[in-house]
Structure 1
Amino acid sequence: MSFLEEIDNEAQHAGLVQAVALADTPPIFDWLVTTFSFQGISDRVARGYIHKHGTASWSAIAARENTAPSCPKLRSYWHFEGCRYDKTSFTCAEPDHIDACALPRPRLRNGRLNQTAYSLFLFVRDLADGDLVGWIDSQLDGARGTTRAELEAARQEALIGPLRNVYGVSDKILMMTLSTLLIGTREQRPTWLETGTAMIAVDTLVHNFLHRTGILQDCGSSHAYGAACYGPGGCAEIIRTVADRIDARTLNPVFPQRFARFVQNAIWRFCAGDCLNLCNGNRIDDRQACQIGYCHLYQRCGRIPLKGKNRLKNRYLQHLNSAGFA
């Protein structure tokens, strides 16, 4: 299937298309919370745990919140900060209330996910007035920019910025989930499509690819994986620049002309063990330059090690070679 078809199937299977059309928040919330559960662990393990134990849901949390919980942390989104629930030790910041607290009730993989579910619920209830679709529309409509790049950045920040304060979610997971939501439910909402296709999720595979190939170095943007990937000149900006030069319609006529999310996903598939399985730490000794000679990028790749004592030596030799001294 094409990347766009995969997104459409995901949106249809999760009921997102109908939920957005009806401005029905609970199915969207349930899908978001489930997707957030895939952070920090393999998809197979996460799916197995969810299949066995289930996940959090809007209806269950809402029903428990209607009983006026005694814990002061659950009064509002703003009160929730510093909950510190830990599943293993069954402790939190308000131990006198934990026995009656509904937050630990969903049997999620760890306490952080329980906090994420409740933090997101309180965000949608208190900041979005329970209407997640209306909140997205309002945030996107209010974004401003004098150029396309500025407008795209403003729209993304209008969504990611507030949601960044939901407990336990990173820019990466927000970009992935919101991109799927916005693209998969794009009918009658062209702004959602434009925003979703411009969203880029930079994980370690994508960042390390840009490092190993020498792209970060050539762009003068060498940095460690993290927040800098989304900063000025970082991984996301580099990928958007590349996407500007690719007419994605030549790859699939149903694609939009500029499809930065697809370019990022193509890099990820080149590296991921479940896909092409080429540029990753399982195939490459990161203390040395890559030795996969049959890779069709081999002759043009910088092959810069990620770590180890040979890293600076390889950079120096590559500099001499490019200058004609080696």
Structure 2
Amino acid sequence: MIDDIKADLDAHNIQQAIEQRNTPRLFDWLVTNFSYQGVSDAVARSYLDKHGNASWSAIQGALQQNVPCPRLRSYRSFHGCRYDKTSSTCSEPEHIELCSLPKHKLRNGRLNQTAYSFFLFVRDIANNDLVGWIDKQLASSTSFPQGFDRDPLIAPLRHVYGISDKILAMTLSSVLLGASSDRPRWFQAGVDMIAIDTLVHNFMHRTGILAESGRPHTYGVECYREGGCAELVRCVAGNINAQQFNSSFPMIFPRFIQHAIWRFCSAGGLNICNGNRIDDRAECDFRYCHLFSLCSHLRLKHASKQPLRPLDDANTRAKLQK
């Protein structure tokens, strides 16, 4: 997993950008990764290949001109832009014709807002130095607290428009885990950065883990709150020595455990626990699954209308926790 992350970063010269504190290059890579949400990776990649993305240099150049819209004056004033690509409207319609934000041909207006919101964050909050800001945030935290609401990186960045907790965790963990050995605090922070997507959440529901936890919930922000999917993965990771899989790993490695669950489910991984294999309207009957005897086989759809099925005995419960 770490080798794949480093190979991807090297392919885009991100390691070099970190060492050189090259904010524009790092920004462009991050904004590109932020575009991979809401659609499949193939669709997002195809659109980016055809139309390109909003870059640091393009946004910086546009904002150095006379900007009539008051929303573009600062990171905090940008809140409430509400640009919509389909209707070509925003919260300041009298300025939209001269506004640079709609001129970027992104997949939807939400991504235009994300690019500008993130640029203004880097300019106004991080003082045009993303690497320095990350160093400062991690140095100010004596430990890496559990929960995204208190995470020194996630907490401030989650207010950037249009970036979900999932995409933040996925993107930042790659940067942090792939950092060179002279930044041990970066790696340590990346180890604990868990990304919960629908595959991981649905796995937690189908197996009965969410029901057993006493905190069943739908996919979304609840996955990162107390008792949610991220906390459950973190608790499980505390009982699994990751060094048995790779001696160079830290003993407790929540991001690796989450990634293992994702690979178990993903069509690009083991392709076992997902909507391609299982009819979401029925209980799973895929008896070749290694976890079949431990699973609660809860159907995914209409879950709130069906009673939760408790595990049969304490022994099964202990196995499922493991």
TM-score under structure 1 length normalisation: 0.91
Q: What are the superposed Cα offsets for residues 176-232 of structure 1, whole Å, 9 maximum, x if unpaired?
A: 111011111142111110100110001111011011111112222222222221111
Shift of 1:12: 1.1
Matched with 1:131 is: 129
Q: How has the CA–CA distance of structure 1 residues 309 and 214 changed in structure 2, closer, same or farther, with 3 Å as cutoff? A: closer
Q: Residue type matched to 1:64 in 2? A: A
Q: How has the CA–CA distance of structure 1 residues 297 and 123 changed in structure 2, closer, same or farther, with 3 Å as cutoff? A: same
- Flag structure 1 segments of 5+ consecutive residues without an equivalent: none
Matched with 1:66 is: 64
Shift of 1:113: 0.3
Q: How has the CA–CA distance of structure 1 residues 226 and 309 changed in structure 2, closer, same or farther, with 3 Å as cutoff? A: closer
Shift of 1:256: 2.5
Q: What are the superposed Cα offsets for residues 258-297 of structure 1, whole Å, 9 maximum, x if unpaired?
A: 2211110111111112222211122212232210001111
Q: Residue type matched to 2:229 in 1? A: C
Matched with 1:253 is: 247
Matched with 2:318 is: none
Shift of 1:237: 1.1
**Residue 290 (1) aligns with residue 284 (2):** yes
Matched with 2:320 is: none
Matched with 2:219 is: 225
SS of match in other structure, 1:78: coil
Name the CA distance, whole Å, in 2 between partners of 1:23 and 1:49.
29
Q: Residue type matched to 2:21 in 1? A: A
Instruction: Pick from 102, 105, 118 the counterpart of residue 104 of structure 1.
Output: 102
Matched with 2:270 is: 276
**Residue 178 (1) aligns with residue 172 (2):** yes
Contact 2:148 2:155 in 1 (8 A): no
Matched with 1:43 is: 41
SS of match in other structure, 1:299: coil
Q: How has the CA–CA distance of structure 1 residues 161 and 182 changed in structure 2, closer, same or farther, with 3 Å as cutoff? A: same
Q: What are the superposed Cα offsets for residues 23-78 of structure 1, whole Å, 9 maximum, x if unpaired?
A: 11111100111001110100011111111111111011111111131111111111
Matched with 1:214 is: 208
Shift of 1:153: 4.8
Matched with 2:93 is: 95
Q: How has the CA–CA distance of structure 1 residues 217 and 91 changed in structure 2, closer, same or farther, with 3 Å as cutoff? A: same
Query: Percent sequence identity over matched residues?
Result: 54
**Residue 306 (1) aligns with residue 300 (2):** yes
TM-score under structure 2 length normalisation: 0.92
Name the Cα RMSD after superposition.
Answer: 2.1
Matched with 1:197 is: 191
Q: Residue type matched to 2:299 in 1? A: P
Name the CA distance, whole Å, in 2 between partners of 1:309 and 1:232.
21
**Residue 165 (1) aligns with residue 163 (2):** no
Name the CA distance, whole Å, in 2 between partners of 1:286 and 1:96.
47
Q: How has the CA–CA distance of structure 1 residues 263 and 211 changed in structure 2, closer, same or farther, with 3 Å as cutoff? A: same
Q: What are the superposed Cα offsets for residues 115-158 of structure 1, whole Å, 9 maximum, x if unpaired?
A: 1000000000001111111111111111245xxxx645589621
- Flag structure 2 segments of 5+ consecutive residues without an equivalent: 315-322
Over 6 Å off, 4+ runs = none
Name the CA distance, whole Å, in 2 between partners of 1:296 and 1:83.
49
Q: Residue type matched to 1:44 in 2? A: A
**Residue 116 (1) aligns with residue 119 (2):** no
Shift of 1:82: 1.0
Contact 2:282 2:299 in 1 (8 A): yes
Q: How has the CA–CA distance of structure 1 residues 310 and 192 changed in structure 2, closer, same or farther, with 3 Å as cutoff? A: closer
